[in-house]
Amino acid sequence: MDHAINVKPRQFVETVELQIGLKNYDPQRDKRFSGTVVLPNIPKPKMKLCILADAAHIDQAKAIALDFMSVDDLKKLNKNKKMIKKLAKKYDAFLASEALIKQIPRLLGPGLSKAGKFPTPVSHTDNLEDKIKEIKSTIKFQLKKVLCLGVAVGHVQMTEDMLVTNIMMSINFLVSLLKKNWQNVKSLFIKTSMGKPVRIY
């Protein structure tokens, strides 16, 4: 890790990814799991977020320089699949005012859900900045058809302690999702965006 961080400083802050290889697991037969965990240190500070907002949340979003779209903005997309796909690509995650959540499928169709970016609901009693911090700190483990997973657990500007805390919490959470816990773990690697994978288990 030190090597990866110190050899060639990049033009951007590299993400540190945890790569997990599983064994004795049959995605066809065994339960495909999915779970999210909130890490103590934000792994992806540069995440781009947008709130689909009612009037009150528009004011809050403006106050903290958060991108927002109003109901009128969403209506203008006119359920155009290309434009919705573009919107889903532009941001890493979405929030939406609770009052609007039920209208999203009607306004946008299934586009955001298909991209795995259905908005996180926000109520007027929620602190918007806290909610953003929570989203930026949340990682998701989802087993699909292949026996390897990769999740961002930090970035190269974190201290070693912060990184270790995030990695340990991520691993322990994943192991708790597995049928036979550690017996299902074949390998664990840590990798920076541009670096070589380093095996830790």
Q: Is the dihedral of CA 29, 145, 49, 18 positive or negative?
A: positive
Domain boundary residue among 115, 134, 153? 134
153 within 8 A of 39, measured Cβ to Cβ: yes
Q: Indicate which CATH number applies to the domain containing 61.
A: 3.40.50.790
Q: Is 40 contained in some domain? A: no
Whether 143 contacts 29, CB under 8 Å: no
Residues 94 and 170 in one domain: no
Residue 177 belongs to some domain of the structure: yes
Same domain, 181 and 160: yes
**124 lies in the same domain as 53:** yes
Any domain includes 174 = yes
pLDDT (mean) for 102-125: 90
State which of 134, 167, 186 marks the end of a domain: 134
- 111, HSE (Cβ side, Cα atoms, 13 Å): 22
pLDDT value at 7 more than 70: no
Does the predicted TM-score (pTM) go above 0.75?
yes
Is the same domain home to 106 and 181? no
Split at pLDDT 50, 70, 90, the class of 56 is very high
Q: Residue 1: how many CA atoms within 13 Å on its side-chain side? A: 19
Number of folded domains in the chain? 2
User: Measured between alpha carbons, how far is 55 from 73 in angstroms, rounded to an integer?
Assistant: 12
On the 0-12 / 13-18 / 19+ scale of CB atoms within 10 A, 13 is: middle
More confident residue, 116 or 165: 165
What's the whole-number average pLDDT of the chain? 90
Residue 89: give the domain boundaries: 49-134
Q: Which of 4, 99, 111, 107 is nearest to 53 (CA)?
A: 99
The answer to whether the Cα torsion of 86, 88, 94, 98 is positive or negative is positive
Residue 6, domain CATH: 3.30.190.20
What pLDDT score does 1 carry?
53
Domain end among 85, 106, 134: 134
Does one domain contain both 27 and 66?
A: no
Residue 79 lies in a domain: yes
pLDDT digits (tens, 9 = 90+) for 77-104: 888 889 999 999 999 999 999 999 999 9
Query: What pLDDT does residue 11 have?
Result: 64
Q: Cα dist. 179→7, 29, 185 in Å?
A: 40, 12, 10
